[in-house]
Amino acid sequence: MNTPQPSLSATPVALTVELDLAAVNAGQRPPAPLNREKAGQLADAIANDLARILGDQIHACGLILPAALYDLTELLQPGLTWVEILLEIYRGSFAGQGFTPQVLALGGDDDFPVAALAPQRRPGSGPLLILPLLLVGEHTTIEPIQSQLEEVLLERGRSSLQTESLIRRDFQLSPRNLTYATFNDLSALLKIQLGHAGLEPLWQLLEGALFRPEEAELAQLPEQNSFLGRNSEIFTTFYTYDQWVATDRGDATDYRRWLLKQRLYEAGLAAHGLRIRRLRHPASLDSTCSGQLNRNLEEHEISGDLLREPDSPVPSLEGADIVLLTEHSTPELGPLAYTVLVQAGDGRVLHVANEYPLNLETAQQLREDWAEVASRYDLPLHLAQPGKILTSDDGKHLLPQVDFKDGAH
């Protein structure tokens, strides 16, 4: 006969591993997770730390942790889904028996044992890496411990020398600081960091997604970017260069500033697990009305990571003589658009369009796709890379480069 399962609660805690900023290499990945043996040793050391910090009441709690290091963006995501995953694993350890406080560590000699918790190990992560852990117990036990954690961790949360020694030895790191923190502490730290970087609206959107996911959160930047957050999704309006100028939003310099902020915010929000949904102009995000938003999505949502202007399929290129591909770019943005011009031998224009890759991977794919089209029709392909945005004399339209003396292939 199975023992009735108690109603368990859990509270997340973080061991923060702060590295020297000079030691963080843009191409370097965080270290690999630990194997089972080393994971167990580290978990025992962390359990001893928490007993020292919290006292004897900690012995009524279980502890489970993945012996891996994560970037803060991987963990500070809507719903904190990793918490529920660890709690389910802990529940599964009962094997039909009653709750018993124990220390569980997830490590792997090869692949990480729980794919959903495998760290992404993105190059350049840091300088703050996080080892997440979960304290598990009955509700009457966890609730006072959670309050105690909020009160004492910032003052008494430094790790022991034993834990530091294991982190240094097994992860091959030289941390500046090793401290325990609650996830409220980490949220406050992120808010301060974004504020110092002048990105307060980014925190506004993240805070809404983390703590008020069902409420609409509208952020409008001085550069005229608009973002609407709701239910772990971010809605934003994307402008082509021609649309930007036609709506009197500014010139090429203003467009560069807008696009730089657009890419920065989209990347930051996506890194925290938010889905980005882009709308074409003239969709507006001035209203947070769900009905209006749904109509805008139905009529104006951009499908995929490439926007074509005009939004029509490429016609047959029979009779074409040359494909001209002009890359509009700036040093800080890289490629922002490509003007495609296909001409016949008599000079007739068979196709002209501007194509906007919405990430760098799509820019590479766009070039490869047009190279394949040119090859299929046995046409020469000229790729012009002038290193700037080429516009018409009145500044209202992107133009192709038709002089191949410089920057063309």
Residues of the chain with CATH 3.30.420: 308-384
> Contact 229/274 with Cβ under 8 angstroms?
yes
Alpha-carbon distance of 105 to 66, in angstroms, equals: 6
pLDDT values of the chain reduced to their tens digit, one per residue, 409 residues = 454 556 889 999 999 999 988 767 667 889 999 999 999 999 999 999 999 999 988 999 999 999 999 999 999 999 899 999 999 999 998 877 788 899 999 998 778 999 999 999 998 888 999 999 999 999 899 999 999 999 999 888 999 999 999 999 999 999 999 999 999 999 999 999 999 999 999 999 999 999 998 899 999 999 999 999 998 999 999 999 999 999 999 999 999 999 999 999 999 999 999 999 999 988 878 766 777 778 888 888 999 999 999 988 888 898 999 999 999 999 999 999 999 999 998 989 999 999 999 998 999 999 999 999 999 999 999 999 999 999 999 999 999 998 765 444 4
- According to the CATH classification, is domain 198-303 in 1.10.1760? no
Alpha-carbon distance of 179 to 17, in angstroms, equals: 7
Residues of the chain with CATH 3.30.750: 198-303
How many other C-beta atoms are found inside a 10 Å radius of the C-beta of residue 290?
Answer: 10
Note the pLDDT of residue 142: 94
Note the pLDDT of residue 408: 44
What three-state secondary structure class fits 149?
helix
Note the pLDDT of residue 409: 46
- Listed in order, strand segments (DSSP E) in 183-305 are 217-220, 226-230, 233-238, 275-280
Which class for 14: exposed (0-12), middle (13-18), buried (19 or more C-beta within 10 A)?
buried
What is the pairing mode between strands 381-384 and 349-357?
A: unpaired
Alpha-carbon distance of 93 to 108, in angstroms, equals: 17
Residue reference for tokens 């001893």: 48
Backbone angles phi, psi at 362, to 5 degrees: -70, -30
According to CATH, what is the number of the domain 308-384?
3.30.420
> Contact 71/125 with Cβ under 8 angstroms?
yes
